[in-house]
Amino acid sequence: AQSVTQLDSQVPVFEEAPVELRCNYSSSVSVYLFWYVQYPNQGLQLLLKYLSGSTLVESINGFEAEFNKSQTSFHLRKPSVHISDTAEYFCAVSGSGPGSQGNLIFGKGTKLSVKP
Amino acid sequence: DSGVTQTPKHLITATGQRVTLRCSPRSGDLSVYWYQQSLDQGLQFLIQYYNGEERAKGNILERFSAQQFPDLHSELNLSSLELGDSALYFCASSVGALAYTDTQYFGPGTRLTVL
């Protein structure tokens, strides 16, 4: 079975500081990895995803994540955060083939709080 | 705005009752997914429909059922409601049937409170 662990439930950080939100997964099949963001009182929005190819994926608003197969990780990073990045971030995994559930499995989420 | 609409926004009901949540997918999307988000369980996949047919099932209770209509909107029916069913219910949609690679677009959710 697949699972996702987000190691930090809350991450407070000052504006313009770098941030890393950690995500580890377990899977016995080929994986596809996603980061979704949920702003207050809204639904989830896709931030970025890794399907294949380059292990470093970027979003349009400055976030990036690197797929590390040996460490089974997909950490999300941003070199300089803004107040508007305050939100909850969800890591998700999916896969295909025997042993996969075929749908997105979400982590518990990490609340990023950016302070002025 | 993701283009996915959900009604109602809020729902308050009593234990033992039955409710129906409605979802309209983005124009052109054929798949609809239902998720439950609660404080203790997090975000859990319930069920997926693709072009009117059930495609995948997750942690959906037997008291819950869903369907997708010919116009592609979907309804999630929750019956014999319990206090523990209080949660935010999200609908998402995607173009294709492949949940594991397609981008899913989420609606704003329906907050269900069972008293």
What's the pLDDT score for residue A102?
A: 63
Lowest mean pLDDT among A51-60, A90-99, A106-115, B6-15: A90-99
pLDDT digits (tens, 9 = 90+) for A30-76: 788 999 999 988 889 999 999 888 889 999 889 999 999 999 999 99
What the block records as the tokens of A107 is 């982590």
Residue type, A96: S
* Contact status, residue A95 vs residue A82, Cβ threshold 8 Å: no
**Mean pLDDT over residues B28-48, rounded?**
92
Quote the CA–CA distance of B88 and A106 in Å, as a whole number: 15
Kindly state the DSSP code that residue B27 receives in the 8-state scheme: T
Lowest mean pLDDT among A29-38, A78-87, B68-77: A29-38
* Contact status, residue B49 vs residue B74, Cβ threshold 8 Å: yes
What's the pLDDT score for residue B6?
A: 97
Using 50, 70 and 90 to split pLDDT, how confident is the model at A100? low
What's the pLDDT score for residue B95?
A: 93
- Give B107 to chain A, closest Cα distance, Å: 5
What's the pLDDT score for residue B36?
A: 95
* Residue A95 contacts B where some CB pair is shorter than 8 Å: yes
How does strand A110-115 pair with strand A10-14?
parallel
Residue among A41, A44, A93 with most chain B CBs within 10 A, to mutate = A44
Enumerate the β-bridge partners of residue A93. Answer: A33, A105
Peptide bond preceding B25 in cis form (omega within 30 of 0): no
- The residue that leads in pLDDT, B59 or B95, is B95
Quote the CA–CA distance of B25 and B28 in Å, as a whole number: 8
Quote the CA–CA distance of B64 and A63 in Å, as a whole number: 37
* Residue A3 contacts B where some CB pair is shorter than 8 Å: no
